[in-house]
Amino acid sequence: MKYETFGKNDDKAMPHVRKFIQKAKHENQFPKLVLGYQDAIYFEPNKYLKLKYADSAIAAAYKTQNQDLITSAYLGKGIIYYSNFRQYMPALNEYLKAHSYVKNSNNEYLHYKVVYHLGVVKSYLGYYQEAINHFNDCIYYFETKSKSKLHPNEIYNHKKGYLNSLHQANVCYRNLLNHKKSDSLIEVGLKNSAHDNDFVLEHNYFLKSKGVSLYFKKQYPKALLYLNHSLEAFKKVDDFSWVSVNYFFQGKSLVSMNQMPDAIEKFEKVDSIFNQHQFILPELRNNYEVLIDYYKKRRNTEKQLYYMKQLLKADSIISKDFSYLSPKIHKEYDTKSLVEEKKKLEEGLHKRSILVIALVSVSSVIGILYVIRYRRDRIVQSKYKLLEKKYKEALSNLDNVSNVGNKYTSEKISGEYENQRKLGINKEIELEILRKLDIFEKNIGYIKKGLTLKTLATQFETNTYYLSWVINENKKMNFNKYLSDLRINYITNQLFTHKKYLNYTIEALAEECGIASRQNFSDLFYEINGLRPTDFIKQRIQEMKNT
């Protein structure tokens, strides 16, 4: 093909790819059409167009009725969600579809690609040892095949799988604090990817890993050299996840070198990436804790509050991923694998063995359900401890942040009004509305049922446009979100401080804070606090019994 020499995401290849696709369509050559769409995914730089080509590849693959092509098409779509969007929920769904087809295939390469990507999701969830088992299987398979007598393209694919598996296993070992094993994998990866133009990106993954390793060894200047050297490669392919990790460890190294202004600049770049992509790795939570502490010490309550909100948003996103992915990956992958294996055994055994197999299967399922329940309870406990920590920190910092966003002086606002006057918002009007909002919050006026933007505007003797604008501009959220946050924070405070509320029904708690629907209350509580009210109450009661 005319475009094989182009690099990944190089749109100069796309005219040639489109010609190939049109020819395959015209000739009804659906296997070639799948290949054309997969090439388009590789060369197209726009991630949204990549998704469109992925859907087209799936549709074409179904027309071939080829299990391997269908597996590859679903896997390709999952990889786009993971690599280009860092959206683990839809990525896992596509991986599981790929797994359902590859189980009937003799294509080992495809099988291990699916195993690798399921390992990536498990690593994100924190199941590092389970993920390592996946990656070790992949390392052995891909390394062996990469040294076999295969077509150069196949050798390239297997070596790429080998290097990526090494990198992911290294990440898992680092998170398990097995730095000796992590370092050994880094050196293997650097040696096998050095001076090879086909694996420049993979080589930079190991350079990044070396920088992180040097940070933990307290060799901060060297860590910065490796991290800086690898950064541009990640930016070039828009791998914003590893860009974030890179900036984070640069910031941590600079903190250790007492270069705080430079460090804060790196941490704020992590926040910028988070705002742009709405994604953050769990290990980067500390990014916001450092920023909050930094601005707290400098009495910059505005930024302190902003980063507190960002931390809560990050926790909410991480919690949603964990609550969805954790049970799903075990129920839909591990349990499915167990049932399928059981079925194969049953078909090969004599009828007299059926009862024994059934008993083993039931025991296994019960064991898996117990593990799932245990892990869910562990996640709930972790979320509760996190929420309790935030609550205690908020109490200790009450004098500093309790009224942040509500204390406005004419001196602070005077420089911000050129654009506001163009919108017809008068400075005095805004200050008056902010004053009334302050009173409204202090008097807990927000728990009144049926409260709307219109009724509150009438109460404030203003119009809905002014009130909505002031809330959006100063609270950085719309009216509904503002009201929900106030109500849920209020009822959470009551649950922490007054035992009687722990005996309330969910309906009564919802009514207490002005929310009409039980379901709406439960959803909002989860969205803001990261766990359901029933789970929170259970943890709170248990904690009080233990004290």
- pTM for this model (two decimals): 0.56
User: Taking all residues of the chain, what is their mean pLDDT, rounded to a whole number?
Assistant: 83
In angstroms, how far is CA 438 from the centroid of its own chain?
35
**Rounded distance, CA 25 to CA 157, Å?**
27
Whole-number pLDDT of residue 194: 93
Confidence of residue 495 (pLDDT cuts 50, 70, 90): confident
Confidence of residue 44 (pLDDT cuts 50, 70, 90): very high
If one compares 179 and 382, the residue with the highest pLDDT of the two is 179
Of 106-110, 279-283, 299-303, 486-490, the least confident? 279-283
Confidence of residue 7 (pLDDT cuts 50, 70, 90): confident
Span 23-34, average pLDDT: 94
Straight-line distance from the first to the last Cα atom of the chain, in angstroms, rounded to the nearest whole number: 71
Best-predicted range by mean pLDDT among 102-111, 374-383, 401-410? 102-111
Q: DSSP assignment of 427-481, as one string?
A: HHHHHHHHHHHHHHHHTTGGGSTT--HHHHHHHTTS-HHHHHHHHHHHHSS-HHH
Confidence of residue 389 (pLDDT cuts 50, 70, 90): low
Is pLDDT of 97 > 80?
yes
**Rounded distance, CA 540 to CA 382, Å?**
12
Is pLDDT of 364 > 70?
no
Is pLDDT of 156 > 50?
yes
Q: Name all contacts of 223-230 with Cβ < 8 Å and 24+ positions apart.
A: 223/249, 223/253, 224/250, 224/253, 224/254, 227/253, 229/204, 230/204, 230/205
If one compares 340 and 441, the residue with the highest pLDDT of the two is 441
**Residue 474, CA distances (Å) to 302, 311, 363, 408, 437 in order:** 10, 19, 57, 10, 11
**Rounded distance, CA 240 to CA 254, Å?**
21
What pLDDT, in 10s, does the model give residues 52-85? 999 999 999 999 999 999 999 999 999 999 888 8
Whole-number pLDDT of residue 497: 82
Q: What share of the chain in percent tops pLDDT 90? A: 49
**Rounded distance, CA 436 to CA 419, Å?**
23
Instruction: Give residues with Cβ within 8 angstroms of 171, minimum separation 6.
Output: 123, 182, 209
**Rounded distance, CA 538 to CA 547, Å?**
15
Whole-number pLDDT of residue 125: 76
Span 469-482, average pLDDT: 90
Span 141-158, average pLDDT: 92
**Rounded distance, CA 111 to CA 60, Å?**
21
Confidence of residue 315 (pLDDT cuts 50, 70, 90): confident
Whole-number pLDDT of residue 399: 37
If one compares 463 and 405, the residue with the highest pLDDT of the two is 463
If one compares 28 and 540, the residue with the highest pLDDT of the two is 28
If one compares 329 and 497, the residue with the highest pLDDT of the two is 497
What pLDDT, in 10s, does the model give residues 253-280? 999 999 999 999 999 999 999 999 888 8
Place of tokens 């490669």: 233
If one compares 545 and 192, the residue with the highest pLDDT of the two is 192
What pLDDT, in 10s, does the model give residues 354-363? 554 555 555 5
Whole-number pLDDT of residue 377: 61
Place of tokens 């509320």: 501
Helices (H), 217-285: 220-236, 240-256, 260-277
Is pLDDT of 325 > 50?
yes
518 close to 510: Cβ distance less than 8 angstroms: yes
**Rounded distance, CA 526 to CA 322, Å?**
13
Is pLDDT of 546 > 80?
no
Whole-number pLDDT of residue 230: 96
**Residue 398, CA distances (Å) to 313, 391, 403 in order:** 20, 10, 8
Is pLDDT of 87 > 90?
no
Give me the phi and psi of 186, to 5 degrees please: -60, -45
Span 109-122, average pLDDT: 90
Confidence of residue 493 (pLDDT cuts 50, 70, 90): confident
Span 402-419, average pLDDT: 38
Q: Name all contacts of 46-49 with Cβ < 8 Å and 24+ positions apart.
A: 47/80, 47/84, 47/85, 47/238
What pLDDT, in 10s, does the model give residues 10-22? 888 999 999 999 9
Span 148-165, average pLDDT: 93
Whole-number pLDDT of residue 345: 42
